[in-house]
A and B are shown apart, each in its own frame.
Chain A
């Protein structure tokens, strides 16, 4: 029997997800033993043509990380979708938009203008911008278009499963892949990881008081956290209560509160809004002026605090009116 075929690809991402795959370490050999990696441009020399030559539906699992920000990403993932039986959105960017999705808070033109003209480290008096097509000495060069927004993978192609995380842990990756290879197929749309929030697996959960009431909020850099006590109870925002578990509480063990990379729990469609809701309910200030003052002093930034990984999914996309 021939081995199952696996393809790996990256779109708008930092490379951390690829790192997470390599972090399978010795298990990577087991993986190679069990499957044929037929496409993995970051690790080996594969070209688009190689993929085009494959028969439609001939790849068993395509693991795609990164959001869709360039025309090229869109083309490649559509191609991969056609060639593959199962497509997995791997990591926060493919799942929810991730960190690059934060750019969706700004229109495309503003991003390009800043990156190519206004950033303090840029000297570009001719205001040169990347163009789609350019001819130099009779040779034509083509660059993929920078799209209006970054889209999570499932807004471009049909996605079968999600492996969340920024990046997903090697254990979770291994668990998901071995499950799929063993034929233990979860229902379509399943997000690997736990069904419960991070708090359920958090080693500090025992120290969480029955009711959390915060008289003051603090940001992580303003306080030295006691690593043996629930961080939320110490007054810093921890996204644990509204974030899917399954990450082994790595950040918590490392002394940092959760920032929410595993995304929302089942049944929640807007993780950021849910986080805002829960944080507002545990703050114990009833005087509106005092409350506003506290937020002001903290430099309250709802997008950065609550939507760090899920802005591309949770944003309201408003169209600019004429003259704006």
Chain B
């Protein structure tokens, strides 16, 4: 991918099986359109998303990461999404401290019925990240084995 006009961001989405993933499905079956820049990874609960995954996604070339789960109170596992809430609030700050722009990381509550919200969220996020440009990582710090 190149800079400038031709840039297409890659957004990694961690989607909860019980809500957001169903909403994405609904968007598809309802023939709604959304940008093809998302790479959706289904997890059983947004609480399953280890902050290490998010960092790894950025390290491996994601321009943005979206963690999406059930609305507070609706978690299939009672309170998994509350852990997500607390983790993502901390993670937001951590990523900013590491120099990653705020818009590149987002957490949303999207229920199984909210296909429209899913479309709006990803469309907006893709646009925001497209404006920021690619997340350029410093050249991989070369590992020199025995000279």
Q: Which residues of chain B come closer than 8 Å to A158, judged between CB atoms?
A: 145-146
Q: Which residues of chain B come closer than 8 Å to A151, judged between CB atoms?
A: 141
Report whether B87 and A295 are in contact in the complex, using a CB–CB cutoff of 8 Å: no
Q: Which of A126-175 contact B (CB under 8 A)?
A: 148-149, 151, 154-158
The distance from the CB of A53 to the nearest CB of chain B, in whole angstroms, is 17
Report whether A319 and B85 are in contact in the complex, using a CB–CB cutoff of 8 Å: no
Contact A316/B93 with A155-B143, A156-B144 known, Cβ cut-off 8 Å: no
CA distance A273 to B91 in the complex (A): 8
The distance from the CB of B82 to the nearest CB of chain A, in whole angstroms, is 5
Report whether A274 and B94 are in contact in the complex, using a CB–CB cutoff of 8 Å: no
Contact A280/B141 with A78-B147, A105-B97, A319-B136 known, Cβ cut-off 8 Å: no
CA distance A315 to B147 in the complex (A): 26
Verify if A50 is at the interface (C-beta below 8 Å from B): no
Verify if B83 is at the interface (C-beta below 8 Å from A): yes
Of all chain B residues, the one with the shortest Cβ separation from A302 is: B94
The distance from the CB of B98 to the nearest CB of chain A, in whole angstroms, is 5
Report whether B137 and A280 are in contact in the complex, using a CB–CB cutoff of 8 Å: no
Verify if B135 is at the interface (C-beta below 8 Å from A): yes
Q: Which residues of chain B come closer than 8 Å to A291, judged between CB atoms?
A: 85-86, 89
CA distance A281 to B54 in the complex (A): 17
Q: Which of A272-312 contact B (CB under 8 A)?
A: 272-274, 276-277, 279-281, 283, 285-286, 288, 291-292, 295, 300-303, 306
Verify if A46 is at the interface (C-beta below 8 Å from B): no
Report whether B138 and A277 are in contact in the complex, using a CB–CB cutoff of 8 Å: no
- Map CB proximity to A onto B77-100 as digits: 1 under 8 Å, 0 otherwise: 001001101110111011101111
By Cβ-Cβ distance, the 5 closest A-B pairs, closest first, are: A280-B86, A302-B94, A273-B51, A319-B136, A317-B138
Given A148-B138, A157-B145, A318-B138, 15 other A-B residues pairs in contact with their CB atoms under 8 A: A105-B97, A156-B143, A157-B146, A273-B55, A276-B51, A276-B90, A280-B90, A286-B79, A301-B97, A316-B95, A316-B98, A318-B99, A318-B100, A321-B133, A321-B136
